[in-house]
Amino acid sequence: MQARLLLEDGTLFTGKAFGSTGDSVGEVVFNTGITGYQEVLSDPSYCGQIVTMTYPLIGNYGITRDDFESIRPYVHGFVVREHEAVPSNWRAEYTIDSLLKEYGIPGISGIDTRMLTRRIRHHGAMKGILTTSNKRVEELLEQLKVAPLMTDQVSRVSTKSVYSAPGTKERIVLVDFGSKSGILRDLTKRGCDVVVVPQDTTADQIRRLAPDGIMLSNGPGNPKDVPHAVQMISELIGQFPIFGICLGHQLIALASGADTEKLKFGHRGGNHPVKDLKSGRCYITSQNHGYTVKEDSISGTDLEVTHINNNDRTIEGLRHKKHPVFSVQYHPEAAPGPFDSSYLFDDFLDMIREHKKNHPPVPRQAQIAAAYQAGGAKSASASKGELHYAEK
């Protein structure tokens, strides 16, 4: 079956369909990873996007449930040069074609992905429609023109219920803006007691969970589309140690008074060089984002730049000057990509332990007694029914 990819500037690509049939509109972007297509497909940060893989052969090792970064894929379309229909890998459970069909995602192969990538690099990421229909180009352009890009991706991909991954060490509240499973894996393998909460959880609800630290996850879209998260973070800065990744990094910047802007075509791949300004060391990192913190907006805030991108000099890391808060624009949990930066999870836990040492917690009994004296027994009891917990 024939498939077509039409960009908003009128550029048309015709190829062979795989995956689901129908029409799908999204922002057309590219990823430079040589491997890791399954992790790309299942990364919630790609919600609302039609992803082009620049590596020419995709699908050769199939799909394995163990390698998913979320419960399902969230991309709006998948573009490859060559689609391998019969994978060769003992771990393979099924094919990309069957995965995309299961979740209603169209794919196209047999097009010049190099030309498409160069066009995006020159003109920037743009809206596109991937279709298997026989509609005229003029009709598709009109359909593309009136179809808005998504602005509610975070609410679509975030968990709707609170759930936990019990551990014996530090309690971490992980705010899920579209979190990859790798973040939870890195925390749990370090023994953390992790409580995952929805993206619209309030600062007061997080306080009631009594965390030792707060992790702000990655996620899709424009950070300015989740102002409630900015408000929540601004209330918690200075009260708990906080570590932000990708979207979490951008939200920390906004909550601290800095600003963000859209990149021309974003950073998506597993080989982006990032320089640590303190040590001078360069790390190879995994990245997936379309927005960045504006450099000139940092002055006048309590933030300092800790890492920069060695390709385009954009900001890749921030640290708060007064409070135990830091963030990175890239993915220390990798998947796909190198694990060079996994040490950041250890730095986060060290920061938590240092904070607890300098700010020993008030015993719970004393907190209850103080609340009772301030407002009576009724105010000392916790409110019920505000957080929705996942059913067993």
User: Encoding tokens for residue 76?
Assistant: 């709006």
Percentage of the residues of the chain whose pLDDT score is greater than 90: 91
Per-residue HEC secondary structure of 80-94 comes to CCEECCCCCCCCCCE
List residues bridging with 283 in a β-sheet: 274
Say which residues have a Cβ less than 8 Å from residue 132's Cβ, sequence separation at least 6: 1, 2, 3, 4, 17, 21, 22, 23, 106
Residue type, 15: G
In DSSP notation, 1-33 reads: -EEEEEETTS-EEEEEEEE--SEEEEEEEEE--
Closest CA to 287 of 326, 334, 248: 334
Q: Is the pLDDT reported for residue 383 higher than 60? A: no
Q: How remote is the C-alpha of 187 from its chain's centroid?
A: 16
Residues with Cβ within 8 Å of 73's Cβ and at least 6 positions away in sequence, in order, are 41, 42, 99, 100, 103, 105
Q: What is the mean pLDDT of the chain?
A: 94
Q: Which helix (H) or strand (E) holds 357?
A: helix 343-358
The verdict on whether residue 45 carries a ligand-binding annotation is: yes
Q: Which CATH architecture has domain 154-358?
A: 3-Layer(aba) Sandwich (3.40)
- Number of helical H runs and strand E runs in the chain: 12, 19
247 is in an annotated binding site: yes
pLDDT for residue 184 is more than 50: yes
pLDDT confidence band for 376 (50 / 70 / 90): low
The average pLDDT across 20-37 equals 96
pLDDT at position 382: 47
290 is in an annotated binding site: yes
Determine the pLDDT at residue 375.
Answer: 73
| DSSP assignment of 268-293 | EEEEEEEEETTT--EEEEEEEEEEEE
Backbone angles phi, psi at 241, to 5 degrees: -65, 140
Mean pLDDT of 277-288: 96
Rounded Cα–Cα distance for residues 156 and 29 (Å): 20
Cis preceding-peptide flag for 56 (omega within 30 of 0) = no
- Residues taking part in catalysis: 246, 331, 333
Of residues 361 and 112, the one with the higher pLDDT is 112
Query: Closest by alpha carbon to 71, among 226, 179, 216?
Result: 179
Tens digits of residue pLDDT in 154-170: 999 999 999 999 999 99
CB crowding 295-311: b at 16 or more within 10 Å, else e? eebbeeebbeebbbbee
d(CA 301, CA 375): 37
Find out whether 296 and 261 touch, Cβ atoms under 8 Å.
Answer: no
In this structure, which amino acid lies at residue 167? G
pLDDT greater than 80 at residue 392: no
In tens, the pLDDT along 249-268 reads 999 999 999 999 999 999 99
- Token duo for residue 57: 């052969």
Q: Which fold has domain 2-150?
A: Glucose Oxidase; domain 1 (3.50.30)
Sequence ranges of the domains in the chain: 2-150, 154-358
- Is 221 marked within a binding site? yes
| pLDDT for position 386 | 63
pLDDT of 51 > 50? The answer is yes
Q: Tell me the per-residue pLDDT of 57-89, one tens digit each, with 9 for 90 and over.
A: 999 999 999 999 999 999 999 999 999 999 999
Confirm whether residue 219 is marked as ligand binding: yes
The residue assigned the tokens 């015993």 is 363
Residues 223, 250: contact at Cβ < 8 Å? yes
